[in-house]
């Protein structure tokens, strides 16, 4: 269920974002690069923006807005209504039953959304590029594969996994951190969103810095 809500139901907005950003990179970048006779740099620009930097971070923001709030408030509501105590009383571990499935669901969903975003972002870029100049799909994607390196694939995978793990962890912790008052439930959701945004941005800075340092 967590993957259904976090991954499947987010495909619509992710498709629009991917196609829009892929198109925007071409619309803005291609005329400028053409003016300095560097049209082939558009492929490197696409990989940097869509695959390496913007893809995993944007997907993390979408999941934070949709799922981190939902997970934190749902678990907080269970704590306030003593459902968690009921699970414990009948021998069910709430961490195994409530936390782990949501943690894994968010992590797996973010990983898959990132791949989906990359595919549609690069495809949307091709649709726009074909308007500027006739270009076959085989030539376009072969040029993309020429500039795409293993390190680009590795960094986008690592970012999506770390972001997913952090979002799931923060949302679960904030949900379980409430005590008795029902007014704590929305506060738990807000705190989960704020903390998840902060952690994801920090992780992105650290991983990007490590990537560029190791490439020097």
Tens of pLDDT, residue by residue over 78-90, are 999 888 888 888 8
Tokens 């892929």, residue located: 22
**Would the pLDDT of 128 be above 90?**
no
Stretch 128-153: mean pLDDT: 80
Stretch 130-136: mean pLDDT: 72
**Would the pLDDT of 215 be above 80?**
no
Integer angstrom CA distances of residue 58 from 30, 55, 112, 132, 140? 23, 5, 13, 27, 24
- Distance (Å, rounded) from C-alpha 24 to C-alpha 148? 20
Least confident of 6-10, 112-116, 208-212: 6-10
- Give the other-Cβ count within 10 Å of 65's Cβ: 15
Burial class (CB in 10 A: 0-12, 13-18, 19+), 89: exposed
pLDDT classification of 170: cutoffs 50, 70, 90: very high
Of 66, 71, 62, 162, whose CA–CA distance to 116 is shortest?
62
Res 12: pLDDT: 85
pLDDT tens figures, 1-52: 677 777 778 888 888 888 888 878 877 877 777 777 776 787 888 888 888 8
Res 25: pLDDT: 80
Whether 121 and 26 have beta carbons less than 8 Å apart is answered as no
Report the length, in residues, of the chain: 216
% pLDDT > 90, the chain: 35
Res 24: pLDDT: 81
Number of domains making up the chain: 1
Q: Which domain holds residue 76?
A: 2-215
Res 216: pLDDT: 65
pLDDT classification of 182: cutoffs 50, 70, 90: confident
**Would the pLDDT of 192 be above 90?**
yes
- Distance (Å, rounded) from C-alpha 153 to C-alpha 130? 25
Res 44: pLDDT: 84
């Amino acid at each position: 269920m967590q993957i259904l809500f976090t991954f499947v139901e987010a495909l619509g907005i992710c498709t629009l974002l991917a196609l829009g950003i892929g198109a925007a990179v071409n619309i803005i970048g291609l005329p400028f690069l053409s003016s300095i006779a560097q049209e082939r740099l558009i492929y490197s620009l696409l990989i940097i923006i869509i695959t390496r930097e913007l893809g995993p971070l944007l997907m993390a923001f979408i999941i934070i807005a949709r799922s981190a709030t939902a997970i934190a408030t749902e678990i907080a509501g269970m704590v306030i209504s003593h459902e968690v105590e009921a699970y414990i009383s009948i021998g069910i571990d709430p961490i195994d039953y409530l936390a782990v499935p949501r943690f894994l669901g968010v992590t797996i969903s973010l990983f898959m959304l990132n791949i989906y975003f990359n595919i549609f972002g690069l495809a949307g870029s091709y649709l726009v590029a074909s308007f500027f100049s006739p270009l076959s799909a085989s030539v376009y994607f072969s040029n993309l594969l020429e500039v795409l390196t293993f390190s680009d694939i590795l960094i986008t995978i690592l970012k999506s996994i770390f972001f997913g793990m952090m979002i799931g962890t923060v949302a679960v912790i904030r949900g379980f951190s409430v005590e008795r008052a029902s007014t704590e439930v929305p506060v738990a959701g807000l705190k989960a969103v704020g903390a998840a945004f902060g952690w994801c941005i920090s992780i992105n800075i650290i991983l990007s810095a490590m990537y560029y340092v190791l490439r020097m």
